[in-house]
Chains A and B, each alone.
Chain A
């Protein structure tokens, strides 16, 4: 009984960590620009597929991973510079459509260059499951968890201690005031997109050995990450991490104890229930309109 529960929990937190990283990506871009980036999932896909590609060129694993992250980050920069920046002042819905267009383009590129097949990325340190209290966990899951924890702390440091991090926070709180304080808002936007893309790529690389990857692999991951970000309260980084964990664990438990066919529905049922009672997510601020 307990072993079974533990097993579901392990797979839940592995999933959850991935969603948390994707959700963080959503939050960072949202904070800087108030845009929901529907191409976030494609960053995840580019990370995984990029690694496959660079490995295929004969590069050693660590180099291939770095190259994939760099490639995806370039796409993040490009998205901001070529599509979001020129559309400044457009309505939020228009910006959303632009990111949807970008996601179609990135999928299209991946399909043209890398085909439609599924690809496997070898696990970082073997496939030998580790036994814990009757349940097993893959070494790759530990990688997912470890790297996620590391990144969360690194991001905290970045936002709390570095000038750039503080500039991003300031811009998210009040863009005009940030401009007046001499913060380079354009640079903030640019960096945010790059950072989100890198986070997405890392998430994609980490899960690729567990789930396989192809040009459409980012779609569901992106949507679940969006769930995580909303669940935690949009723009709240730690909220997104908590949201990701909740979604991941709920999904694994749902699949384990309920029906696996509805595994993908769990995240969305959860988000609807939460939003009905907490319209700004679990840890979101409730906004009031000044009249």
Chain B
């Protein structure tokens, strides 16, 4: 089933086409990777899909509805969440609180109830804490639950972002270079987490430089070069494509 459909998408920045007439689809329940050399337009594409940028032309349909003009929080309510290339952690909170913010949409947010600390809020928070603890456990960070995020290692924070995004119960999760800056061991941890996320039936869209990781876990790979689609297909197909080899070896 098609979850995301991109049609003839283009965006220009000052006359430069960062994305040029791009079309592809993403099926639900798959791990879909977007790769390409630096400057290929991967992050731009991410920002288009998440509604941060407005395309010059073309459409993006998520769940049969457009994304353009929607605020990030509205898309979150429609089941789309993401992580960031440059860490965006709430450093003024503990790990578990970070994840609990992720559950924001699924909690009672009445002002007066919160102000007067009504039992319904307290009960909701207790339950939320439990489910968020499970999510921390899921990404392997249970022991950090009540630790200030300021004192957590970089690799753990990368996974914390994933746990926080999962707490919003997304249908589609976009990961922007989740392994960037990680050592091989930490990279493998992320690997495992992404696979487990997909097993939960969540569609994963991945932008990543770590080829080994991409080849290993992706169901489908889209290769971009200068904003255009170079090729797409399974890991095997992409690996053997001469254009891809040329682009990566500096053709």
Contacts and interface: CB of A to CB of B under 8 A. Distances in A.
Contacts of B85: 291
Contacts of B226: none
A290 interface: yes
Interface in A193-230: none
Nearest to A290: B86
Contacts, number: 6
A291 to B, nearest CB: 5
Interface string B176-214: 100000000000000000000000000000000000000
B240 interface: no
B151 interface: no
Main secondary structure of the interface of A (DSSP, over half): loop
A290 B85 CA distance: 9
Interface in A263-291: 290-291
Nearest to B88: A291
B86 to A, nearest CB: 6
Size category of the binding interface on chain B: under 10
B84 interface: yes
Main secondary structure of the interface of B (DSSP, over half): loop
Interface in B73-112: 84-86, 88
A1 to B, nearest CB: 48
Interface string A142-179: 00000000000000000000000000000000000000
Contacts of B176: 291
A242 to B, nearest CB: 26
B172 to A, nearest CB: 18
Contacts of A290: 86
B14 to A, nearest CB: 14
Contacts of A291: 84-86, 88, 176
A291 B89 CA distance: 11
Contacts of B86: 290-291
B120 to A, nearest CB: 35
Nearest to A291: B84
A105 to B, nearest CB: 31
Nearest to B176: A291
A291 B176 CA distance: 9
A153 to B, nearest CB: 34
Nearest to B43: A291
A291 B83 CA distance: 9
B240 to A, nearest CB: 34
A291 B88 CA distance: 8
B183 to A, nearest CB: 23
B219 to A, nearest CB: 26
A147 B86 CA distance: 48
A216 to B, nearest CB: 38
Nearest to B85: A291
Interface in B43-76: none
A91 to B, nearest CB: 11
B121 to A, nearest CB: 30
B249 to A, nearest CB: 29
Interface in A242-274: none
A184 B63 CA distance: 56
A218 to B, nearest CB: 35
A76 B126 CA distance: 54
A291 B86 CA distance: 5
Nearest to B50: A291
B139 to A, nearest CB: 21
Contacts of B84: 291
B155 to A, nearest CB: 19
A291 B84 CA distance: 6
A142 B182 CA distance: 64
A86 to B, nearest CB: 23
A11 B83 CA distance: 56
Contacts of B88: 291
Nearest to B82: A291
A291 B43 CA distance: 9
A290 B88 CA distance: 10
B218 to A, nearest CB: 23
Nearest to B46: A291
A291 B85 CA distance: 6
A283 to B, nearest CB: 20
A135 to B, nearest CB: 47
A177 B176 CA distance: 27
Interface string A99-138: 0000000000000000000000000000000000000000
A290 B87 CA distance: 10
6 contacts: A290-B86, A291-B84, A291-B85, A291-B86, A291-B88, A291-B176
- Counting from the closest, the 4 A-B pairs by CB-CB distance are A291-B84, A291-B86, A290-B86, A291-B88
